[in-house]
Amino acid sequence: MDICIKRIEGSPVEGFVKGKGPRKPTLMLVGEAPGENEAIQGLPFVGRAGEELKKSLASIGLTREDVYMTSAVRSRPFIWKDKKERNGESVKKKYNRPPTQSEIIAHAPILDFELLNISPLLIVTLGNVGLQRLLGKSATVSKLHGQLLQRPVQILESLNSTQYTWSSETYTIIPTYHPASVFYRPSNREFLEDDWKTIGDYIKTQKF
């Protein structure tokens, strides 16, 4: 963890959220990065996206406590922007932004460690950032969502490296959209519901 805080130094990020959940969970969820609420509370998926995620989990009979929640980046990437107040005054405010490639690589040792030490039945990636962290830039959620994939994943060549290599181990992954995607694209809800049904059906067929 300390080395990752060092590796990301100089980037506009704040807070640090550890992965959370059992060591042998049904699912390992790989998100993008914490938002404002997560950075304040130090817990993953406790904001608006977390509420959506809870509904998806409930649709297949799971709760937050049944799953391991993690993300590509552990600190909240932010950007300062002007916000117009009601009185017309402009104030500077921090907004969430997607993590950069170098921020994702800076925090890669943590997710690599989790991939080695957490043994889920299934990995579910939430959105493109988590998906591409594991399967590379050519993997897109629009192409792959709802598909059962059995593939090696990207891991750092070594702890201090900034280059990925492919794991010798194969992981079982079903990609889906990020729960927050329904806020800006409500039509995604249908895809999300179908994907979560696929995830639920897969779990039912497995002895775990």
User: Interface with ligand URA includes 38 (CB under 6 A)?
Assistant: yes
Among 33, 108, 123, 173, binds ligand URA (CB under 6 A): 33
CB of 178 to ligand URA, least distance (A): 6
Using an 8 Å Cβ cutoff, are 49 and 17 in contact?
A: no
Structure tokens at 71: 């993300």
Our CB check for ligand URA shows the closer of 91 and 184 to be 184
Q: Within 10 Å of residue 112's Cβ, how many Cβ atoms?
A: 17
Q: How far is the CB of 120 from ligand URA (least distance, A)?
A: 17
Q: Is the dihedral of CA 153, 132, 137, 103 positive or negative?
A: negative
Which 53-92 residues touch ligand URA, going by CB under 6 A?
A: 71
> How many residues make contact with ligand URA (CB under 6 A)?
10
Say what the alpha-carbon torsion angle 174, 36, 53, 55 is, to the nearest 10 degrees. -170
Residue of 7, 32, 110, 174 that binds ligand URA (CB under 6 A):
32
Length of the chain in residues, anyone? 208
Cβ contact 25:90 at 8 Å: no
- Binding residues for ligand URA, per CB under 6 A? 31-35, 38, 44-45, 49, 71
